[in-house]
Amino acid sequence: QLQLVESGGGLVQPGGSLRLSCEASGFTLDYYAIGWFRQVPGKEREEVSCISSSGGATNYVDSVKGRFTISRDNVKNTVYLQMNSLKPEDAAVYYCAAAHVPFCTIAAGTSPQYKHWGQGTQVTVSS
């Protein structure tokens, strides 16, 4: 069974950091681009970052550039999202998703190429 499991969410103060993990089971991530998305109630799911299957190319939405870093460890079958200088507007449920393509770009909304999704992890940014 193909599964993605996110972890690492929690409560953090503004300016703080969190590292999210997205671990795959039932398949290898080697041939998949991975995207991180976030969603708050009442709003459309937003893609914040993605990484190519090799890890050689990364993309970010403008609002997180310079603060978030996506990376992957294909040996561990895991993709990470390091989030620094967190702001209250970063609070959301964060999801990872896998697309069976080598490269990715940031798209508005949710691209249909992402076929496999995790269950999400909550990030709360509050003092």
pLDDT at 104: 94
Tell me the per-residue pLDDT of 51-92, one tens digit each, with 9 for 90 and over: 999 999 999 999 999 999 999 999 999 999 999 999 999 999
Residue with tokens 């507007």: 89
**Does residue 109 have a pLDDT over 80?**
no
Tell me the per-residue pLDDT of 5-34, one tens digit each, with 9 for 90 and over: 999 999 999 999 999 999 999 989 999 999
**Does residue 1 have a pLDDT over 90?**
no
pLDDT at 107: 86
Length of the chain: 127
Classify residue 127 by burial, with Cβ atoms within 10 Å: 0-12, 13-18, 19+.
exposed
Q: For residues 87 and 13, is the Cβ–Cβ distance under 8 A?
A: no
pLDDT at 108: 80
pLDDT at 99: 96
